[in-house]
């Protein structure tokens, strides 16, 4: 019996547009066991509510398997899927459910400094114990440890990196997360769908459109409504503008000297076009459940096309400047196909190692048509591949945007959403990968929710890719991944 | 590459048309607070340490843009530094989480006098959309004395630049 068959044999729950199956503890255990030997299906996320634990898998379609929590225990998936470990730690910190036989039981988000413990559980308890001091890491003779952050770590958010080095070589890098945890899920709870949209838009600024679209799609699925065609089309325009701006920002940070500066200037051109077209440089709050919040402003069309022209014109120069980087990026920083197989990370990180994961293609959603991207070279998951792939994706987005802008459907941009109950799962492909939002609505208010940012699957791979690199190459390697924690830490 | 360099040298940068003006009213109020020793020491330059306390990263990316060619912070005598010992201004973005408080206080302690705190964006001012959460204590003002705020979610790089120039003007 395949794992997919084990899951679909469960009791189907009313979730749209894909099914959720409630498994017995025995069936869940059988799935957990089978995951150890079978690489399919990929685990995309794992979260909880007060009574159940939910696992999101990508089989022939996306599907969620749920299991009731017995006391405080559920069977861990981390022995078969290493990607589950971070989620299991988060579930313990937020809901208090314990993963039996989990591979890592350390706290992830909770540094012992919140006023309450297990904030999303039925009855959070006051936190009376003082926070535990963080001890020095264990190093072997001949090694020493470099501590970077949480301020000035080079990541976009506060992250504490502990880098163990032997001479100049990185033996191990560990990221300590949780500094940027803001309690987004607790803040969303009880809010009407549209009032929670500004929170969804501020989970990660570099993917604000993707998060807003995934959030809106989850809500629309739960309520069984569909935005008008113009709403879909404008969401696509915003999402691809966001992708271009984000990729240009990442290239600007990674490339030295003039090429990097030029990418930064081009990014600024896109942000100003965003302002002219939709009224916000980063496109925050431009997408709402039911469609979009704004229509394309007069003059916005021309501003966007002008930015696209400039980017297309500069592409050959930027591409050439990458040629000179081959030497400096030759060693280290590889997140190759083998290590990726058990993680299934989306976005640039996965595609730069030859994976095909792209939510615009599978499962696909409007306004995206048939597959847009065909990798133009064999990708081996190194620094250069990740940078080159971003250039390719900028080119593809440029083509898509011109096509859409030439033929925008007329009509309203937002069809509204009713105040009703339901459960939905939504996905959108952001600049860094597939963003998933899961929502359960009770009479129009959010009863419980989860946000699966693609960075959940990235951090363990970034840690692995940094091992073996020279310490001096670490900043470049890190920038090629565009590491951030805000999306993951919620 | 050489071609590109030559072109970049003779052409005006595509996006550099920022005209940032200091806010004279705030500048006057700040000037009254500054002692003459500080004025003598700093002249017309400020070293800025940017710390993203938590938050979504929106304000942080806009601050990063200030250092790029489009806004070119350094032509105004402003410079980003990475070390609190070299910093005159602590520029904070994002809400203050419980987990970050110790680190923020540590950075502030390490900065030499005279020093200022600039809170940039709704979150740094009062926690923004994240206010009221168990993990968020509020804006940076909860822990450190704030001298200047820049409103917005996120504020544009131009408005942040104008605020920083206000600090210099107050210091003249």
Once rounded to an integer, what is the mean pLDDT over residues B31-44? 56
> A455 and chain B: CB distance < 8 Å anywhere?
no
Taking the mean position of all CA atoms in its chain, how far away is CA A372? 20
Structure tokens that stand for A154 in this block: 């080079």
The confidence band for B168, taking pLDDT boundaries of 50, 70 and 90, is: confident
CB-based contact B135 A181, cutoff 8 Å: yes
Helix (H) or strand (E) holding A436: strand A433-442
Integer Rg of chain B from CA: 17
CB-based contact A486 B135, cutoff 8 Å: no
What CATH number belongs to A3-126?
Answer: 3.30.460.80
Once rounded to an integer, what is the mean pLDDT over residues B74-92? 90
ipTM of the assembly? 0.90
The Cα diameter of chain B in Å comes to 55
Q: How high is the pLDDT of residue A256?
A: 79
DSSP A96: -
Q: What residues does each domain of chain B span? A: 46-170
The confidence band for B90, taking pLDDT boundaries of 50, 70 and 90, is: very high
> B37 and chain A: CB distance < 8 Å anywhere?
no
Structure tokens that stand for A275 in this block: 């302002």
Contact list, B135 vs chain A (CB under 8 Å): 114, 119, 181-183
Q: How high is the pLDDT of residue A203?
A: 94
Q: Which of residues 59-118 of B touch A (CB under 8 A)?
A: 59-62, 64-65, 68-70, 82, 94-95, 97-101, 103-104, 107
> A484 and chain B: CB distance < 8 Å anywhere?
yes
Q: Residues B39, B45, B47, B50: is their CA dihedral positive or negative?
A: positive
DSSP readout, A200-226?
HTTS-GGGHHHHHHHHHHHHHHHHT--
Q: How high is the pLDDT of residue B18?
A: 47
Alpha-carbon distance of A422 to A189, in angstroms, equals 15
Has residue B32 got a pLDDT over 60?
no
Structure tokens that stand for A467 in this block: 């091992």
Q: How high is the pLDDT of residue B13?
A: 46
Q: How high is the pLDDT of residue A328?
A: 57
Which of A15, A46, A44 is CA-nearest to residue A450? A46
The per-residue pLDDT string of chain A (490 residues; one tens digit each, 9 = 90 and over) reads 789 999 999 999 999 999 999 999 999 999 999 999 988 899 999 999 999 999 999 988 999 999 999 999 999 999 999 999 999 999 999 999 999 999 999 999 998 899 999 999 999 999 887 777 666 667 788 898 888 878 877 667 788 889 999 988 999 998 888 888 999 999 999 999 999 999 999 999 999 999 999 999 999 999 999 999 999 999 999 999 999 999 999 999 888 788 889 999 999 999 999 999 999 999 999 999 999 999 999 999 999 999 999 999 998 888 888 876 655 555 567 877 777 777 888 888 888 888 888 899 889 899 997 765 555 556 778 888 888 889 999 999 999 999 999 999 999 999 999 999 999 999 999 999 999 999 999 999 999 999 999 999 888 888 888 888 888 888 888 888 888 888 888 8
Which of A344, A346, A340 is CA-nearest to residue A381? A340
Using DSSP's 3-state secondary structure scheme, residue B72 falls into: coil
Has residue B19 got a pLDDT over 60?
no
Q: How high is the pLDDT of residue A431?
A: 95
> A156 and chain B: CB distance < 8 Å anywhere?
yes
Nearest CA in chain B to A264: B68
CB A66 within 8 A of CB A22: yes
Alpha-carbon distance of A210 to A402, in angstroms, equals 20
Reply yes or no on domain B46-170 having CATH 3.40.50.12280.
yes
Long-range contacts, stretch A9-17, CB < 8 angstroms, 24+ apart: A10/A65, A10/A66, A13/A66, A13/A423, A14/A422, A14/A423, A15/A64, A15/A222, A15/A423, A15/A424, A15/A425, A16/A221, A16/A222, A16/A224, A16/A422, A16/A423, A16/A424, A16/A425, A17/A221, A17/A424, A17/A425
Q: How high is the pLDDT of residue B42?
A: 60
Q: How high is the pLDDT of residue A344?
A: 82
Percent of chain B with pLDDT over 90: 48
Write the residue in A182, A199, A268 that is nearest to B70 by C-beta. A268
CB A192 within 8 A of CB A207: no
CB A219 within 8 A of CB A444: no
In the CATH scheme, what architecture does the domain A184-489 have?
Answer: Orthogonal Bundle (1.10)
Distance from CA of B144 to the nearest CA of A (A): 16
Q: How high is the pLDDT of residue B8?
A: 52
**Torsion (CA) B158, A300, A204, A233 in degrees, nearest 10:** 180
Chain A and chain B share a number of CB contacts under 8 A equal to 153
Residue with tokens 């090694």: A143
Distance from CA of A307 to the nearest CA of B (A): 10
Mutate to test the interface with B, among A178, A182, A251 (most CBs of B within 10 A): A182
Q: How high is the pLDDT of residue B4?
A: 56
Q: What residues does each domain of chain A span? A: 3-126, 184-489
Has residue B52 got a pLDDT over 70?
yes
Contact list, A284 vs chain B (CB under 8 Å): 58, 153
CB B148 within 8 A of CB B166: yes
More confident residue, B110 or A334: B110
Taking the CB of residue B114, how many other CB atoms lie within 10 A of it? 15
CB B171 within 8 A of CB B38: yes
């Amino acid at each position: 019996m395949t794992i997919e068959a084990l899951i679909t044999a469960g009791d189907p729950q009313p979730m749209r547009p894909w099914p959720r199956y409630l498994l017995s503890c025995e069936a869940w255990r059988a799935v957990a066991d089978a995951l150890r030997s079978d690489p399919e299906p990929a685990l995309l996320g794992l979260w909880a509510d007060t009574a159940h634990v939910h696992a999101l898998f990508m089989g022939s379609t996306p599907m969620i398997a749920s299991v009731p929590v017995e006391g405080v225990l559920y069977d861990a998936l981390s022995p078969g899927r290493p990607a589950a470990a971070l989620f299991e730690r988060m579930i313990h910190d937020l809901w208090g459910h314990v993963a039996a036989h989990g591979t890592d039981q350390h706290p992830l988000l909770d540094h012992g400094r919140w006023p309450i413990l297990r904030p999303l559980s039925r009855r959070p308890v006051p936190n009376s114990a003082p926070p535990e001091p963080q001890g020095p890491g264990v190093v072997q003779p001949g090694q020493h440890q470099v501590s970077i952050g949480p301020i000035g770590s080079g990541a976009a958010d506060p992250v504490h990196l502990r880098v163990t080095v032997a001479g100049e070589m990185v033996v191990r890098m560990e990221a300590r997360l949780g500094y940027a945890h803001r309690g987004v899920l607790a803040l969303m709870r009880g809010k009407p769908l549209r009032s929670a949209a500004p929170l969804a838009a501020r989970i990660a600024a570099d993917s604000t459109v993707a998060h807003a679209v995934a959030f809106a799609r989850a809500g629309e699925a739960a309520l069984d409504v569909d935005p008008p065609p113009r709403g879909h089309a404008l969401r696509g325009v915003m999402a691809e503008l966001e992708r271009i701006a984000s990729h240009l920002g990442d290239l600007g940070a990674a490339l030295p000297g003039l090429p990097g500066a030029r990418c930064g200037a081009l990014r600024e051109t896109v942000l100003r076009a965003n302002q002219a077209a939709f009224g916000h440089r980063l496109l925050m709050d431009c997408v709402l459940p039911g469609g979009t919040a704004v229509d394309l402003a007069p003059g916005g069309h021309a501003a966007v096309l002008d930015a696209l022209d400039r980017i297309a014109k500069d592409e050959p120069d930027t591409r050439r400047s990458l040629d000179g980087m081959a030497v400096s990026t030759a060693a280290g920083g590889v997140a190759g196909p083998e290590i990726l197989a058990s993680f299934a990370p989306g976005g640039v990180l996965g595609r730069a190692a030859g994976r095909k994961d792209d939510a615009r293609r599978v499962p696909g959603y409007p306004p995206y048509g048939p597959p847009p991207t065909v990798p133009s070279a064999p990708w081996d998951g190194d620094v250069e591949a990740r940078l080159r792939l971003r250039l390719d994706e900028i080119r593809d987005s440029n083509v898509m945007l011109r096509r859409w802008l030439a033929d925008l459907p007329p009509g309203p941009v937002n069809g509204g959403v009713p105040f009703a109950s339901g459960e939905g799962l939504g996905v959108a492909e952001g600049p860094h990968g597939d963003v998933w939002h899961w929502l359960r609505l009770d009479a129009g208010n959010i009863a419980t929710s989860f946000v699966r940012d693609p960075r959940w699957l990235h951090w363990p791979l970034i840690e692995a890719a940094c091992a073996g690199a020279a310490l001096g190459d670490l900043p470049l390697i890190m920038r090629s991944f565009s590491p951030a924690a805000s999306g993951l830490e919620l | 590459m050489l071609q590109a360099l030559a072109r970049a040298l003779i052409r005006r940068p595509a996006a550099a048309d920022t005209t940032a003006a200091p806010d004279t009213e705030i500048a006057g109020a700040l000037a009254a607070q500054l002692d003459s020793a500080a004025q003598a020491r700093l002249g017309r330059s400020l070293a800025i340490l940017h710390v993203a306390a938590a938050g979504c990263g929106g304000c942080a990316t806009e601050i990063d843009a200030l250092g790029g060619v489009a806004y070119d912070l350094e032509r105004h005598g402003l410079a980003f530094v990475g070390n609190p010992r070299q910093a005159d201004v602590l520029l904070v973005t994002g809400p203050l989480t419980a987990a970050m408080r110790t680190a923020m206080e540590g950075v502030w302690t390490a900065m030499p006098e005279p020093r200022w705190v600039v809170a940039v964006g709704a979150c740094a001012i009062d926690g923004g959309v994240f206010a009221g959460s168990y993990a968020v204590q509020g804006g940076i003002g909860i822990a450190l004395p704030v001298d200047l705020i820049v409103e917005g979610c996120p504020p544009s790089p131009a408005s942040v630049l104008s605020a920083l120039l206000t600090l210099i003007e107050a210091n003249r």
